[in-house]
Structure 1
Amino acid sequence: MHRSPTAEAEIADELTSVRPDLVTAYTGGLPGARAAVLTRLWRGLAHEPLPWVTGREPGGDGLTLRLTDGRRLHGPRPDPYATGAYVTAVRLDEAAYDDPARLMTDLAVPHSAGFAAELGHSVASMALSRTGGRVPPREWPARSREWEWEQRMTDGHPFHPNCRSRPGFSAAEQLGYGPEHRPVVELELLPVPAGECAVTGVWPGWLREAGRVLVPVHPWQAAHVLKRTGERRLAAHPLMALRTLALPDGPHVKTALSARLTSSVRDISLGSVAASAVLSDFGETVAARTGGLLHITRTLGAVAAGSPDLAAVLRESPEEYAGDGERVVPVAALATTELARSAVWLSRFTVLALTVGLRLLEWGVALEAHGQNLLVVLSPDGDPVRLVYRDLADLRVGPDRLARHGVPLPVLPARMITDDERTLRRKLFGSLVAGALAGAAGSGPALRAALESAARDLPRTPDLAALLDDPLPAKALTLMRLSPRTGGDQWAELPNPLRYDRL
């Protein structure tokens, strides 16, 4: 087997100095982390429109990819909706690879070197993430603070090969800031003259002083990008987004973090700050039409101090929408519970999620409803009763559909506006079905059963017909990382779980 020791060895060396008690757990976790990342990579290689793959040949023992240079890459038959780590090795001609970084290096396709480095970081960071222990699934979530459920997620994005890539973060910084390690993070409060800040919404008085605005800044950002420290600090609990943190008894704080995590640099654009209040009002207006099935976490205030590197957003906690005895759980965290393992429960949740998502799509609003943005409110007995959605920055909005349903179109960023049906459906189906629901189901057969059951209870619309009959869109996450000069999302078409008998 081939190895890519760089990122793995760097973390091991750091741990020897800063946390020697974790070295054994870390090194012991590397094989499992390699398999988890390799599984995600194999999904992309098997299904995405990669220009150097000329053919895909299924066989009794798996799938073989024919490459433009004549080589052949062979691995297990892929389930595009499976989570976990079922791919332990693939073969490139006669050589076996259990390390995704080394595989990508030896494929030697355009831009593979940079992607291979990211894969190495993903493996090393996942192994480090798992050193805190993986919490056993619970039958249904006990009453706990919101961040405790978000911090159960050790492995990151269920389908992205860069699920745990954190380049630029040392081992000590990952332990100090990663939600899976359950730290308390001290945000720096950087004072900026009020006249130099763009503020939308209401920036609270406790984050102002003497004509200055106090901007919450992630300590990694303060140290590595701004190279400044604040006069005061604010304790907060990191959520699965890493740069978004929950105050103990207050709102969530979304901070700028100018590091590439998974696919994107996580700063906060000046345009998103300017549009935040309008988007928040629009989201509330649309959610109010669902009869209580959906709530939107309101943006309370946003500030930018002249740069995407120095900006912050205050947002309502989803717990605002939990009644007595109810719990609000991110859909991504359902995989850490016993709930999604119940076919009956998964069917009920799928009906709820598709009812809301398709209704908004019919009105002209396509949610980016992946497992991090979408949360489910559970009754005291664990039943899914309604949804909460947070972070409106990646909506797509169709003016023609809005007009047909009497929904006023506010002034939104141009990138959000489109009447292209394919674009609107891709946004919702790629995030909700190929992302959130597939991640909760954990496999193609389980997703198929949930969709078959749910479809019986959903209104027949053209959007539902497209979902049930057409290939399922999903972001081509591997292709996007191998196409650094191509802006925007790129897409793959996955076998429709309702039409694919060999999942």
Structure 2
Amino acid sequence: MHPPRTPAGTEAVLAAELRTVRPALLSPYAVELPGARAAVLTRLWRGLVHEPLPWITRREPSGHDGLVLRLADGRRLHGPAPDAYATAATVREVELDGTAYRHPAALMTALGLPHGHAFAVELGHSVASLALSRANQPAMSSPFTSWGWEQRVVDGHPFHPNCRSRPGFSVAEQLAYAPEHRAEVELGLVAVPEAACLVGGKWPYREAGRVLIPVHPWQARHVLKDERAVGEGVAGESLAAHPLMSLRTLALPDGPHVKTALSARLTSSVRDISVYSIESAAAVSAFMEAMAGRLDGMLHITRTLGAVTANTPDLAAVLRESPDVYAGAGERVVPVAALASTVLPQSPAWLAEFSRIALAVGLRLLDLGVALEAHGQNLLVVLSPAGAPLRLVYRDLADIRISPARLARHGIPAPDLSGRIVTDDESVLRSKLFGSLVAGALAATAGSATALSEALSAAVRDLPRTPDLAALLEEPLPAKALTTMRLSPERPGDIWARLPNPLIGP
């Protein structure tokens, strides 16, 4: 999909490609467009209302359940007062100086902000791709594997306006590679001389002095261009795999998951696999396996089995355990992001118990010295045959934070690591956990501030009263300022919003 000049143009470009590659989806796609616009507009309006955007000078109530945002240039944005934790699409239009906008990309274009044009293009992609994702869904059934549950996550990130933005992906590529479209992906194996690679752990794919690196077909076509120019050529083999929520990580038929380099901007940033992450992968995995052993069996870590890079972020891969290895007889492992789309019962009591388990694990680890990035993609829950939450599984250790000072207080030796993964900054540690787990995974599962408040209130009653819990109970809740970050490319790293704390009340 090439960037057109208008939101309608983006949708028309996708429709034109769809007419060629999958004409049967044209009618369902058109039906889904209005709902997709509202879903993305709801996420965008949430960001405008709650994030620290410098060009918004004041926010004030207006009428019955309305809100006015006053802009630095004198203009006024008017829309509903949103629930910061709602996941339903509730915003159908927003007014800018009396002109109503129903499309998020059109609103962003009208605002005329620095970096707003590029963001508007991404919003247009998000709407069109979300409509395509919704249009191509079969009747619901209960999967047998964690990757099957992942493919049930149709709408993407519950709070990011770029929930389904996939610039650079044609319609055919989305249908072939995106998890919600349920296709198998053939990963090529690029052969690189062993001397030219950095290998960690036990890497299983080798032949005659060469290392075979799994490569996503999108990466091969758009980034590597001609794979034969890399190393000594492409092996004559491939791996058929099931794409997971992150798109670049896939489940292999024999069980393990492989994280590939996929240098595409999906939601917030262009992802890659750094050489540093390959160097540290084995040490981080062993350290976290030992830390999980301190939690009485309530947390499993999917171990890193091997990692390899051809000393470039564009050609690298990580192999790790499947979460399914931690399921007992009759149990299921479900990514938290998929809970809202399951056919399993989720009563207030269920949500409270799940929240209690998640907070107990997260806060205990934080007290010991590790902050998990426990959002709905990294965090999975093991369910009993009856659907009760039993324990947790965590995967993808690249973005955790480790505090040597906290570890030392508990007599735990710090791993020999450096870089951004290591910090003793209390605000960074708490924001990492609370922003991902509470404002992310638990909020999205609850679906509203009221449901989240009830679940958290029940969950914290019996938790140890640590300084971290006190901060969770008494301070505004940190959440990544996802819209602000997309409009601030000159500011590297995370930017944080402070949301109303559901445990404090109005």
Could you tell me the TM-score, scaled by structure 2's length?
0.96
Aligned equivalent of 2:231: none
Cα deviation 1:155-198 (Å, max 9, x = unaligned): 10000011111100000000000000000100001111111110
1:285 offset after TM fit, Å? Answer: 0.9
**Counterpart secondary structure, 2:223:** helix
**Match runs of 1:28-177 below 5 Å:** 28-59=31-62, 60-133=64-137, 136=140, 142=142, 144-177=144-177
Q: CA 1:388–1:159 in 2, change beyond 3 Å: closer, same or farther?
A: same
**Match runs of 1:265-280 below 5 Å:** 265-280=270-285
**Counterpart secondary structure, 1:425:** helix
Aligned equivalent of 1:459: 464
Contact 2:145-2:332 at 8 Å conserved across structures: no
Q: 2:133 is aligned with what amino acid?
A: S
Which one of the candidate residues 467, 472, 480 is aligned to 1:475?
Answer: 480
**Match runs of 1:167-206 below 5 Å:** 167-204=167-204
1:133 offset after TM fit, Å? Answer: 1.9
Identity across matched positions, percent: 68
**1:225 equivalenced with 2:223 (yes/no):** yes
1:228 offset after TM fit, Å? Answer: 3.3
Gaps of 5+ in 2: 228-233
Q: CA 1:3–1:265 in 2, change beyond 3 Å: closer, same or farther?
A: closer
Cα deviation 1:82-113 (Å, max 9, x = unaligned): 00211111111110011000000000111111
Cα deviation 1:304-340 (Å, max 9, x = unaligned): 0121000000000001111111100000000012547
Q: 2:305 is aligned with what amino acid?
A: L
Point out 4+ residue stretches in structure 1 off by more than 4 angstroms.
Answer: none
Contact 2:345-2:387 at 8 Å conserved across structures: no
Which one of the candidate residues 426, 429, 438 is aligned to 2:434?
Answer: 429
CA distance in 2, matches of 1:273, 1:132: 36
**1:213 equivalenced with 2:216 (yes/no):** no
CA distance in 2, matches of 1:301, 1:4: 43
Contact 1:143-1:327 at 8 Å conserved across structures: no
**Counterpart secondary structure, 1:35:** helix
Gaps of 5+ in 1: none
Contact 2:176-2:183 at 8 Å conserved across structures: yes
CA distance in 2, matches of 1:133, 1:211: 45
CA distance in 1, matches of 2:152, 2:124: 23
CA distance in 2, matches of 1:376, 1:135: 24
CA distance in 1, matches of 2:442, 2:145: 24
**1:398 equivalenced with 2:416 (yes/no):** no
**Counterpart secondary structure, 1:265:** coil
1:249 offset after TM fit, Å? Answer: 1.9
**Counterpart secondary structure, 1:438:** helix
Aligned equivalent of 1:334: 339
Which one of the candidate residues 485, 488, 492 is aligned to 2:490?
Answer: 485
Question: How many residues of Structure 1 are paired with residues of Structure 2 in the alignment?
Answer: 494
Q: 1:103 is aligned with what amino acid?
A: L
CA distance in 2, matches of 1:151, 1:135: 13
CA distance in 1, matches of 2:223, 2:183: 22
CA distance in 1, matches of 2:479, 2:405: 25
Which one of the candidate residues 292, 301, 309 is aligned to 2:297?
Answer: 292
Aligned equivalent of 2:20: 17
Q: CA 1:388–1:359 in 2, change beyond 3 Å: closer, same or farther?
A: same
Contact 1:322-1:377 at 8 Å conserved across structures: yes
Aligned equivalent of 1:7: 10
Cα deviation 1:246-284 (Å, max 9, x = unaligned): 011221000000101101212111111111000000110
Q: 1:36 is aligned with what amino acid?
A: A
CA distance in 2, matches of 1:435, 1:134: 27
CA distance in 1, matches of 2:345, 2:37: 25
Q: CA 1:340–1:403 in 2, change beyond 3 Å: closer, same or farther?
A: farther
1:134 offset after TM fit, Å? Answer: 6.3
Contact 1:135-1:152 at 8 Å conserved across structures: no
CA distance in 1, matches of 2:65, 2:344: 33
CA distance in 2, matches of 1:171, 1:243: 17
1:132 offset after TM fit, Å? Answer: 1.5
CA distance in 2, matches of 1:303, 1:153: 29
CA distance in 2, matches of 1:340, 1:427: 29
**1:412 equivalenced with 2:417 (yes/no):** yes
Aligned equivalent of 1:345: 350
**Match runs of 1:372-391 below 5 Å:** 372-391=377-396
Aligned equivalent of 2:319: 314
CA distance in 2, matches of 1:143, 1:42: 34
CA distance in 2, matches of 1:184, 1:117: 29
**Counterpart secondary structure, 1:215:** strand
CA distance in 2, matches of 1:393, 1:413: 13
Q: CA 1:482–1:340 in 2, change beyond 3 Å: closer, same or farther?
A: farther
CA distance in 2, matches of 1:35, 1:259: 25
CA distance in 1, matches of 2:208, 2:255: 23
Q: CA 1:417–1:340 in 2, change beyond 3 Å: closer, same or farther?
A: farther
Contact 2:156-2:163 at 8 Å conserved across structures: yes
1:145 offset after TM fit, Å? Answer: 2.1
Contact 1:150-1:240 at 8 Å conserved across structures: yes
Contact 2:323-2:393 at 8 Å conserved across structures: yes
CA distance in 1, matches of 2:354, 2:220: 41
Could you tell me the TM-score, scaled by structure 1's length?
0.96
CA distance in 1, matches of 2:283, 2:345: 35
CA distance in 2, matches of 1:219, 1:355: 41
Contact 1:122-1:166 at 8 Å conserved across structures: yes
CA distance in 2, matches of 1:432, 1:134: 30
Q: 1:112 is aligned with what amino acid?
A: G
Contact 1:236-1:246 at 8 Å conserved across structures: yes
1:135 offset after TM fit, Å? Answer: 5.0
CA distance in 2, matches of 1:344, 1:192: 53
Contact 1:179-1:238 at 8 Å conserved across structures: yes
Q: 1:492 is aligned with what amino acid?
A: A
